[in-house]
Amino acid sequence: MDFDKNRKIALRELSESLSNINEKEAGEFLDRLLKSRRIFVAGAGRSMLMLQAFAQRLRHLGKESYVVAETVTPAIGKGDLLVVASGSGKTGGVINILKLAGKHKADIVFITASSSPSPEKTVSLIVTIPGVFSSRQLMASLFEQTLLLFCDNICLALKGRLKVSETQMRKNHANLE
Catalytic residues: 144
The CA-atom distances, in angstroms, between 132 and each of 10, 113, 143, 145 are: 11, 7, 6, 10
Q: Let me know the angle formed at the C-alpha of 39 by 59 and 43, rounded to the nearest 5 degrees.
A: 100
CA–CA distance from 166 to each of 93, 123, 160, 163 (Å)? 36, 33, 11, 10
